[in-house]
Structure 1
Amino acid sequence: MVPMPPATHPASPFTPRDFQLVLLRRMADHNPGLVEDARHALGASITDMREANKRWQAMLHSPRSRAAASPYRSVLGAPESTLTRRIGDMACEAWLFPVPLWPDLRFEVLLAPNGAVWNEWLIRAPEAEGPDLKSLADLTPWSCTVDEAARAFAPARPLEGTAPTRWGLAFTAPDAEGARRAVVAEFTWGLLQRVAVND
Structure 2
Amino acid sequence: MSRPGSAPFGPLELTLVLLRRMADHQPGLVEDALRELGVGKAEMRGANRVWQARARARGARPAVQRYRSALGPPEEVVARRIGDLNCEALRWRLPLWPDLRFEVVTGPGGQVWNEWLVRAPGAPGPDLRSMTDLRPWCCTIDEVARAFAPATPMEGTAPTRWQLAFTAPGTEGSEERPRHIAEFTWGLLQRLDP
- Fold-level match, TM-score > 0.5? yes
In the alignment, does 2:13 pair up with 1:25?
no
Instruction: Give the RMSD, CA atoms, in angstroms.
Output: 1.6
Query: What is the distance in 2 between the residues matched to 1:80 and 1:65?
Result: 24
Question: Equivalent of 2:57, from 58, 62, 66?
Answer: 62
Contact in 2 for aligned 1:174/1:181 (Cα 8 Å): no
Q: In the alignment, which residue of structure 1 is the partner of 2:191?
A: 194
Other structure's SS at 1:47 match? helix
In the alignment, does 2:25 pair up with 1:15?
no
Give the TM-score, by structure 1 length: 0.89
Contact in 2 for aligned 1:134/1:173 (Cα 8 Å): no
Q: In the alignment, which residue of structure 1 is the partner of 2:169?
A: 174
Q: In the alignment, which residue of structure 2 is the partner of 1:154?
A: 149
Question: Equivalent of 2:138, from 113, 138, 143?
Answer: 143
Query: How far does the alpha carbon of each residue in 1:63-90 deviate from its partner, in whole angstroms, 9 at most, with x for none?
Result: 3433221110111000000001111111
2:43 maps to a residue whose letter is: D
Shift of 1:12: 2.1
Q: In the alignment, which residue of structure 2 is the partner of 1:115?
A: 110
Query: What is the distance in 1 between the residues matched to 2:97 and 2:118?
Result: 10
Query: What is the distance in 1 between the residues matched to 2:111 and 2:50?
Result: 21
Contact in 1 for aligned 2:11/2:95 (Cα 8 Å): no
- Long gaps (5+) in structure 2: none
Alignment length, in residue pairs? 186
Other structure's SS at 2:109 match? coil
Give the TM-score, by structure 2 length: 0.91
Other structure's SS at 1:168 match? strand
Question: What are the residue-to-residue correspondences of 1:73-84 with 2, within 5 Å?
Answer: 73-84=68-79
Q: In the alignment, which residue of structure 1 is the partner of 2:127?
A: 132
Contact in 2 for aligned 1:159/1:167 (Cα 8 Å): yes
Q: Answer 1 or 2: which has greater helix percent.
A: 2
Q: Percent identity?
A: 61
Q: In the alignment, which residue of structure 2 is the partner of 1:163?
A: 158
Shift of 1:44: 1.1
Shift of 1:153: 0.4
Question: Equivalent of 1:105, from 79, 100, 116?
Answer: 100
Mark the structure with the bigger radius of gyration.
Answer: 1
Contact in 2 for aligned 1:15/1:76 (Cα 8 Å): yes
